[in-house]
């Protein structure tokens, strides 16, 4: 009898050890955490599309067979390769395991969904693929997940593919725990110091904290800065770990004078970071950070300005009246990729401290334990993009190494120079956020049919809080009931960036954008197909010009939703 794939099923029978098949681990004793979801149960999700399932098999399961890796890129290949899925969970309560294939017709609506309850005692349950009623519309494996009763709940999970006859992979060999205190580990960490840079601002900030004065360290970046992959996300992330190490060094008595600000937003580049800096980091002027860590090295491929917004963000921070220190942090993906070559010239140009996680770990990834490997990709990466808690610790230790080097070195006599011509561009350093709350008469706005407020927004764990904070809550939303009139904005500015909501919901449709009556582009909320914030340049000039912007639903999609989260503009 086949299981109903839309309802939680009872535990499947444990696999007979005597009939154990060859298998590929996707997760092995991986930490999982329940995150609050709008309209659903708190869950941990692991996305498998865009080649990520093959990456899990390659880096977690140790698979090198290209035939097997190729089969994992489609649902038909998966069914050909895999006999059954084994799942074991260690948690305080039973957990629902979810397998979800994306559909061809409607990505999140038409694909197969399997849900089965796993006991929390670590016993493996098996899901034979022959027992699943597969959708005819299956396209690619989309995600696996674990649903909990309460947000913040923690567990540990293993997921293994047992293979059909005719397919073989080597047995996985688990490494010993990372030797964080070893000399080899410390040598690896020292390789992260790409440039000590001018230490004046950083050393003055550290000295200020050592004297017991109020000092703030802030972090701005993408999902890695948000804490993705760390468990718990709010205290296991590199930002919090490095902050706590700084407190141990400079506030051993626990006076509480060192403040922590974390402003990481998943899936967003510095093009959005430069817009939201005042709201998310300075809290509209209420906070003046002394140290700011900037982490966009794996997010800025989507930056339309190819580094102009990144340099503009650095210049924006450096130009603050309290002269904060800026540290450039270069994280890395599982394929050893980042944008360090594009972005590091900004740091070299202004003589900024730079820390490269890529430089620290990638060379030793290629070594065996006998050859000197300190931490493997399996240990460092939670998925293709994000570090594990151990990986976040490595990142934190790289920053702490910089702090230690700055603290013991002599103070540079002169400050960094900001009178230099930009190396990439500085056109967005003065950018301001415009939304329903913050307009102050700088723009004339007629909302038209965009009169509602969208409350189903991207949520991020800000600072040291485990709960989510909505991004861009003061927005304009079009709904089928709000009418067909266009949204219009008249503004005198040098450049203008639209920030709109990306969504996986089929209820959202595209909007066409006109500048001074001329069509310029279409904003597609299914660009990435998950709820997050998407920036889009509407115009850019060297001097100020008045323009009228009109946003209206694309013909044929008037009965759908679209959310304007806000705008960034430079006068």
192 found inside a domain: yes
8 found inside a domain: no
Confirm if 531 and 489 have CB atoms less than 8 A apart: no
The overall average pLDDT reported for the chain is 94
Residues 192 and 268 both lie in one domain: yes
Residues 553 and 448 both lie in one domain: yes
pLDDT, mean of residues 412-420: 97
- Which secondary-structure segment (H or E) carries 341? helix 340-350
Rounded Cα gap, residues 199 and 204, in angstroms: 8
CATH number assigned to the domain comprising residue 496: 2.60.120.260
Give the Cβ contact number of residue 21 at 10 Å. 16
- The CA angle 19-24-30, to the nearest 5 degrees, is 110
Residue 151 CB-density burial (10 A; 0-12 exposed, 13-18 middle, 19+ buried): middle
Using pLDDT thresholds of 50, 70 and 90, give the confidence band for residue 73: very high
> Comparing C-alpha atoms, which of 362, 359, 372 is closest to residue 398?
359
244 found inside a domain: yes
Rounded Cα gap, residues 100 and 390, in angstroms: 28
Number of structural domains in the chain = 3
Report whether pLDDT(38) > 80.
Answer: no
CATH number assigned to the domain comprising residue 156: 2.60.120
Q: Can you read off the two tokens belonging to residue 368?
A: 């065996």
225 found inside a domain: yes
Residues 153 and 199 both lie in one domain: no
Tens digits of per-residue pLDDT, 400-410?
Answer: 999 999 999 89
CATH number assigned to the domain comprising residue 200: 3.40.50.1110
Rounded Cα gap, residues 99 and 157, in angstroms: 14
Tens digits of per-residue pLDDT, 124-140?
Answer: 999 999 999 999 999 99
Tens digits of per-residue pLDDT, 368-395?
Answer: 999 999 999 999 999 999 999 999 999 9
Residues 340 and 373 both lie in one domain: yes
Residues 203 and 125 both lie in one domain: no
25: containing domain: 17-163
Using pLDDT thresholds of 50, 70 and 90, give the confidence band for residue 5: low
pLDDT, mean of residues 264-280: 97
Residues 121 and 195 both lie in one domain: no
Using pLDDT thresholds of 50, 70 and 90, give the confidence band for residue 108: confident
Rounded Cα gap, residues 298 and 340, in angstroms: 9
321-335 exposure pattern, b = at least 16 Cβ within 10 A, e = fewer:
eebbbbbbbbbbbbe
Residues 467 and 543 both lie in one domain: yes
Q: Residue 19 has what pLDDT?
A: 54
Q: Residue 529 has what pLDDT?
A: 86
Determine how β-strand 82-91 pairs with β-strand 154-163: antiparallel
Rounded Cα gap, residues 381 and 373, in angstroms: 15
Residues 133 and 193 both lie in one domain: no
Report whether pLDDT(565) > 70.
Answer: yes
Residues 119 and 198 both lie in one domain: no
Give the Cβ contact number of residue 513 at 10 Å. 20
């Amino acid at each position: 009898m086949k299981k109903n794939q839309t309802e939680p099923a009872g535990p499947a029978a444990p696999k007979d050890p005597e009939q154990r098949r060859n298998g590929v681990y996707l997760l092995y004793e991986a930490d999982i955490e329940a995150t609050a979801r709008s309209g659903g149960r708190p869950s941990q999700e692991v996305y498998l599309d865009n080649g990520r399932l093959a990456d899990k098999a390659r880096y977690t399961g140790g698979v090198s067979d290209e035939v097997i890796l190729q089969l994992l890129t489609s649902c038909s290949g998966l069914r050909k390769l895999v006999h059954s899925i084994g799942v074991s969970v260690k948690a305080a309560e039973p957990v629902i395991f979810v397998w979800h294939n994306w559909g061809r017709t409607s990505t999140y609506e038409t694909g197969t969904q399997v849900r089965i309850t796993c006991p929390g005692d670590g016993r493996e349950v098996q899901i034979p693929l022959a027992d699943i009623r597969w959708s005819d519309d299956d396209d690619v494996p989309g995600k696996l997940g674990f649903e909990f009763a309460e947000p913040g709940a923690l567990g540990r999970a293993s997921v293994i593919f047992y293979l059909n006859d005719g397919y073989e992979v080597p047995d996985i060999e688990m490494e010993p725990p990372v030797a964080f205190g070893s000399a080899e580990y410390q040598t690896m960490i020292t390789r992260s110091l790409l440039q000590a840079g001018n230490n004046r601002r950083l050393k003055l900030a550290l000295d200020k904290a050592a004297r017991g004065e109020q000092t703030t360290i802030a972090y701005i970046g993408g999902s890695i800065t948000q804490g993705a992959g760390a468990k718990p996300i709010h205290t296991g992330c590199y930002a919090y770990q490095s902050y706590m190490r700084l407190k141990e060094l400079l506030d051993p008595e626990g006076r509480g004078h060192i403040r922590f600000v974390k402003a990481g937003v998943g899936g967003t580049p510095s093009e959005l970071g430069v817009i939201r800096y005042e709201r998310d980091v300075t809290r509209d002027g209420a906070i003046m950070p002394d140290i700011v860590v900037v982490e966009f090295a794996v997010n800025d491929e989507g930056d339309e300005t190819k580094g102009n917004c990144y340099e503009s963000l650095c210049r924006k921070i450096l130009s603050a009246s309290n002269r904060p220190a800026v540290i450039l942090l270069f994280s890395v993906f599982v394929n050893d990729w980042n944008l360090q070559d594009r972005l590091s010239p900004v740091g070299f140009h202004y003589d900024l401290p730079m820390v490269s996680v890529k430089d620290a770990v990638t060379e030793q990834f290629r070594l065996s334990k006998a050859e000197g490997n300190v931490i493997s990709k399996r240990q460092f990466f939670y998925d293709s993009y994000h570090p594990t808690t151990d990986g976040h610790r490595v990142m934190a230790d790289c920053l702490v190494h910089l702090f230690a080097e700055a603290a013991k070195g002599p103070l540079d006599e002169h400050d960094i120079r900001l009178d230099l011509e930009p190396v990439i561009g500085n056109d967005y350093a003065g950018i301001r956020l415009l939304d329903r709350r913050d307009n102050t008469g700088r723009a004339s706005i007629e909302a038209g049919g965009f009169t509602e407020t969208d409350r189903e927004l991207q949520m991020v764990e800000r600072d040291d809080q485990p709960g989510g904070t909505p991004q861009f809550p003061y927005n304009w939303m079009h709904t089928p009931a709000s009418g067909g009139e266009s949204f219009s904005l008249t503004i005198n500015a040098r450049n203008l960036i639209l920030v709109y909501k990306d969504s996986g919901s089929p209820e959202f449709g595209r909007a066409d954008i006109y500048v001074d009556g001329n069509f310029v582009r279409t904003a597609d909320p299914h660009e990435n197909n998950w709820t997050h914030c998407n920036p889009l340049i509407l115009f850019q000039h060297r001097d100020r010009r008045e323009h009228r912007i009109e946003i209206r639903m694309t013909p044929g999609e008037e009965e759908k939703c679209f959310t304007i989260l806000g705008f960034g503009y430079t006068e």
